[in-house]
Amino acid sequence: MTQLLDYVLGGIGSGAIIALMALALVLTWRATRVVNFAQVGQAMFTTFIALSIQTLTGNWFVALIGAIIAGAILGVIVQYLVLRPVKRMDTSGAIIATFGVLIALQAAAGMIWGGDSQAFPQPFGNTALTVFGREWPLSAYDLVVIGFAAVMVVALTLLFTRTSLGLAMRATAFNPEVARLSGVRVGRTLTIGWALAGVVGGVAGVLVAPTSAISPNSFDILLVFAFTAAVIGGLDSLIGAVALGIGTGLVLSVVSGYSDSSNAPVAALVLLALNLAIKPEGIFGHNKARSV
Amino acid sequence: MLSITDLSVRYGPVQALSHVSLDVPRGEVTAVIGANGAGKSTLMRTLAGLVKPESGSASLDGNVLTGHRAEDVVRMGVALVPEGRSTVPELTVDENLRLGGLWRSKTERAATHAEVFDMFPVLGERRKMRADTLSGGERQQLAIGRALMCDPQCLLLDEPSLGLAPLIVTQILELVKRLAAEVNIAVLLVEQNAVTALRVAHTGVVLNLGQVVMSGTASDIASHEELRHAYLGY
């Protein structure tokens, strides 16, 4: 029983990362009805930029701020240069184009930073915390990760529910024509949505990098987990992405704990398959299932 | 005044509007009537900037509207209440209203917000509810309220009677008529239901296959028997 508790607690940190990446996917989906498979590529590229800044300045916070800025800019570039022209054709074309962007970003990162895994320095202690005379499967760094994820979720929720920009973004997502007729500059609003997603994904990348390592392909598996969480959460729902992101992290941690970590991707795909079989619109989604 | 001059619209091989000219004076309701496919909605969507015209122009008090995007046309003072899905169902009543005219100052918007609640008290009672919980009539009031939040000088109403009970249609249209007179805005009303439209309108035009086949006072059109049989089907 204590072992199960340890596995569950150990999954919260990775769950928070998955939640952030799922959040990024949901943000672009809500804004443009495109699942952005390049999201992890953007996060990887952004994280490499952060690593370069970290190496240069030796300061983790400066690197994180650099990642936030780079993530926003990269989001704008991808939306403007690739999605806008392709979206005029059709949505499935846009989704395939995001795969193209992913491959291009991975190739570019390989050319700039090399294809090998590189360690990202630990900003905070990564040893297990000892409280009440017992070692817990959480480190100080895990707590920082969870804290950052919580702050971003609260900030995004406030942005969407309390500000004019958030209102414009929601209206644009649900009914772009009425938004336009109300005076919302829809094109600009969509671009801001992609920039935001780029920021959230970039932060997820910088947060996960110290616990693993970074290479052009190292986040690919994160895409599988985040996509699973986002889809089960309903794709439209910020709360769904966060809840299912953490949930996915916990399930994967338990599966890895009792069997082997190489089974985690399989477990994620099983979750996804179950979701599609039982509740294809997602737990928090209110869209009807759509056959294609 | 909204002035439409020689406006033509083409969707590929289909000529949707052909050399339409029309004046919509302030303080009055002008009705555009005609059968399905006459080009009524195309006219409205073109005026609002959602459709690009092939030729011709439209202007409001001398400012040319054609060539501007929808989000700029509404800033220039022309607000469209489109046919059908004209609110955001996932947002609350309050949020739908706040969406209109986000570029305006907070105090101006708050004043209009209060005026809209005066005009449509039921919206005030339902302000925290999602738009998709409203009845058809309430939703149409919300759509008009959202357009009014943009502080329009010209209001374009596309088939406000669609799917509504006759009594509610009459109420809404009477309110629109009063609004035109009190706030001195130009109202262009598109209706398939000619009888209802001509009852509130001062003047009207009849569209058929994208062309104006008659224009005149509402009573002239309503009493023109041949025209009614030929184009309006009653």
In a mutational test of the B interface, the residue from A160, A169, A177, A178 whose CB has the highest number of chain B CBs within 10 Å is A178
| Distance separating alpha carbons of residues A121 and A113, to the nearest angstrom | 16
What is the mean pLDDT of the segment spanning A128-155? 82
In a domain, A213, yes or no: yes
User: Residue A183 is nearest to which of B85, B90, B150, comparing CB atoms?
Assistant: B150
Residue A93 lies in a domain: yes
- CB neighbourhood size of B146 (10 A): 27
Confidence band for B234, pLDDT divided at 50, 70 and 90? low
Residue B90 burial by Cβ neighbours in a 10 Å radius (0-12, 13-18, 19+): middle
Range of the domain at B72: 2-214
**Global model pTM greater than 0.80:** yes
CB contact under 8 A, A182 and B48: no
Identify the CA nearest to B123 among candidates B175, B71, B201. B175
Assess if residue A178 is contained within a domain: yes
Tally the residues of chain B.
234
Q: In 3D, which of A209, A223, A214, A43 has the Cα closest to residue A113?
A: A214
State the residue range of the domain holding A58.
2-118+136-217
Q: Is residue A128 part of a domain?
A: no
Mean of pLDDT over chain B: 91
Amino acid at A115: G
| B217 within 8 A of B202, measured Cβ to Cβ | yes
CB spacing of A178 vs B82 below 8 angstroms:
yes
What would the mean pLDDT of A40-57 be, rounded to a whole number?
94
| Beta-sheet strands, E only, within chain A | 128-131, 134-139
Residue A264 in domain: no
The per-residue pLDDT for range B179-224, each reduced to its tens digit, is: 999 989 999 999 888 888 888 999 999 999 999 998 989 888 888 8
Residue at B135 is within a domain: yes
- Where residue A52 falls among pLDDT bands split at 50, 70, 90? very high
The verdict on residue B51 lying in a domain is yes
What per-residue confidence (pLDDT) applies to B48?
Answer: 96
Residue B201 CA: distances (Å) to CA of A146, B158, B173, B189, B190 = 62, 14, 9, 8, 11
Residue A235, domain member (yes or no): no
- Give B72-123 pLDDT, tens digit per residue: 999 999 999 999 878 999 899 999 999 998 999 999 999 999 999 999 999 9
Domain count for chain A: 1
Whether chain B has a CB inside 8 Å of the CB on A186: the answer is yes
- Rounded average pLDDT over B51-61: 94
- For residues B8-33, b (16+ Cβ closer than 10 Å) or e, as one string? bbbeeeebbbbebebebbbebbbbbb
C-alpha dihedral over A116, A117, A121, A125, to 10 degrees?
-160
Full strand arrangement of the beta sheet holding B63-64: B14-24, B2-11, B55-60, B63-64
Q: Note whether residue B113 is domain-resident.
A: yes
| Structural domain total, chain B | 1
Pick from B47, B71, B112 the residue to mutate for testing the A interface (most A CBs within 10 Å).
B71
Structure tokens at A186: 């829809």
Q: How many residues does chain A have?
A: 292
A-B Cβ pairs (cutoff 8 Å, strict) = 70
Residue B166, in any domain of the structure:
yes
Residue B22 belongs to a domain: yes
CATH number at residue B146: 3.40.50.300
B45 interfaces chain A, CB cutoff of 8 Å: no
* B window 127-156, beta carbon within 8 A of A: 146-147, 149-150
Distance between CA atoms of residues B69 and B74, nearest Å: 9
Q: What is the pLDDT of residues B128-165, one digit of tens each?
A: 999 999 998 899 999 999 999 999 999 999 998 888 88
Decide: B207 and B34 in contact? Cβ < 8 Å: yes
Give the ipTM: 0.93
Q: Is B35 on the interface with A (CB under 8 A)?
A: no
